[in-house]
């Protein structure tokens, strides 16, 4: 009997049964017939007013369809509400990420400081409901990193599309070394959009080994190929006078001009100004040395450094020359008074009048 019951169970699930020893038992048991008719609803009613009739019970009722309709409408409302809320929170998350990126703060500040302070303000001003909505904004460290990368990629894609739409473009490139001794290649681009000339940072990439022409050109070629930029539309190149850039046979400029024959090379005017300042008159050169000595004398003491917010000048970072001179010129009277109290004015400024000499050199 147990085997027969098992066979009946398998038969109900559609399995074929082949049991010759139990033929006489199976013949005595009425096995249930498999339902072969179609289950669901069929058309009923008149041609002008169709109705649905259940094929099992034969009833014509619309309550079933009304329940399905109301359930579907409620489900759509829930989906719409959740999607709308998710879009709002997603946009708010991107807005916070943009502020974090502009402030150059750590990504953890969004969840550790911005979110708790925003929740407290909303709870006090708008109530608990608004505070609950604020708490649903994703502001974790990894989320901020993804948001900033997404915005960066989108900005780069828009820039590349504007460059492709421009009839011509020009590039300015320079290699540099950051504070961690990593060699970088910075490339700026100038292009035409809506009858206006625009300048943007195209990319900043790390060079693999050395800042030689082959490595610079490989980095440029790789980026141009990846973004689909054509060298034939490059009409200008601006670099400094380094050998890696302006080498006669294998320089980066030479290799670019082989790909873009119409590209003209120009020397960076900021580098030319830096070279020109090295050939200043002996009087102005002496004033510059006196200014650097004055700043170093004040900055070497912590108490004096807190009194005067002066800036260091480094010959390698030659753009710091103007910043250091401007700051010293703004505090020229206070610095001169301080040096007189220390009886060091004659040692650092010599026979030159600090006002006249600094004014002339700063304007120069």
Q: Does 361 score more than 70 pLDDT?
A: no
Q: At a CB cut-off of 8 Å and minimum separation 6, what does 332 contact?
A: 354, 355, 358
For residue 35, the model assigns a pLDDT of 43
- CA dihedral angle for residue 277, residue 278, residue 284, residue 289, rounded to 10 degrees: 120
Let me know: does 13 contact 6? Beta carbons within 8 Å: no
Name the CATH superfamily, with its identifier, for domain 168-273: Ribonuclease H-like superfamily/Ribonuclease H (3.30.420.10)
Rounded CA separation 343/33 (Å): 117
- Which pLDDT score, from 0 to 100, does residue 2 have? 54
Which DSSP symbol is given to 60?
A: B
**Average pLDDT for the chain:** 76
Q: How confident is the model at residue 115 (pLDDT cuts 50, 70, 90)?
A: very high
- Asked which of 160-164, 182-186, 273-277, 329-333 is least confident by mean pLDDT, the reply is 273-277
- How many residues in total does the chain contain? 364
> Which pLDDT belongs to residue 200?
93
Q: What's the pLDDT at 274?
A: 67
Model pLDDT for residues 184-200, shown as the tens digit of each residue = 889 999 999 888 899 99
- Rounded CA-CA distance 206/184 in Å is 4
Per-residue pLDDT tens for 13-47? 555 555 555 555 545 545 444 443 445 556 566 65
Beta-strand relationship, 234-239 and 264-267: parallel
Residue 271 has pLDDT above 50, yes or no: yes
pLDDT at 190: 93
Query: What is the model's pTM?
Result: 0.59
pLDDT greater at residue 351 or residue 75: 75
pLDDT of res. 32: 47
Cα–Cα distance for residue pair 308/36, rounded to 1 Å: 96
The more confident residue out of 20 and 209 is 209
């Amino acid at each position: 009997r147990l085997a027969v019951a098992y066979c009946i169970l398998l038969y109900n699930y559609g399995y074929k049964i082949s049991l010759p020893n139990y033929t006489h038992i199976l013949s005595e048991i009425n096995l249930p017939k498999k339902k072969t008719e179609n289950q669901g609803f069929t058309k009923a009613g008149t041609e002008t007013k169709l109705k649905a009739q259940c094929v099992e019970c034969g009833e014509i009722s619309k309550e079933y369809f009304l329940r399905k309709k109301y359930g579907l409408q409620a489900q759509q409302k829930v989906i719409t509400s959740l999607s709308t809320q998710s879009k709002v929170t997603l946009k708010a998350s991107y807005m916070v990420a943009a502020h974090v990126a502009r402030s150059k703060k750590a990504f953890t500040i969004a969840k550790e400081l911005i979110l708790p302070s925003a929740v407290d303000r909303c709870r006090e001003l708008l109530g608990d409901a608004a505070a609950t909505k604020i708490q649903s904004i994703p502001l974790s460290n990894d989320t901020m990193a993804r948001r900033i990368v997404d915005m960066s990629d989108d900005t780069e894609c828009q820039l590349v599309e504007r460059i492709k739409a421009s009839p011509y473009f020009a590039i300015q490139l320079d290699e540099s070394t950051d504070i961690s001794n990593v060699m970088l290649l910075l490339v700026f681009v100038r292009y035409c959009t809506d009858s206006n000339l625009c300048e943007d940072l195209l990319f900043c990439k790390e060079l693999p080994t050395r800042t030689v022409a082959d490595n610079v050109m490989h980095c440029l070629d790789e980026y141009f190929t990846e973004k689909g930029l054509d060298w034939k539309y490059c009409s200008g190149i601006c670099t400094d006078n380094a050998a890696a850039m302006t080498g006669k046979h294998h320089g980066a400029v030479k290799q670019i001009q082989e790909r873009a024959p119409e590209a003209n090379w120009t020397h960076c005017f900021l580098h030319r100004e830096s070279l020109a300042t090295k050939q200043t008159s002996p009087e102005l050169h002496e004033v510059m040395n006196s200014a650097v000595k004055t700043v170093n004398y004040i900055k070497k003491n912590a108490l004096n450094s807190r009194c005067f917010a002066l800036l260091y000048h480094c010959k390698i970072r030659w753009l710091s020359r103007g910043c250091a001179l401007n700051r010293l010129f703004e505090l020229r009277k206070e610095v001169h008074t301080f040096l007189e109290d220390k009886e060091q004015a004659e040692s650092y400024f010599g026979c030159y009048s600090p006002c006249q000499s600094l004014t002339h050199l700063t304007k120069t």
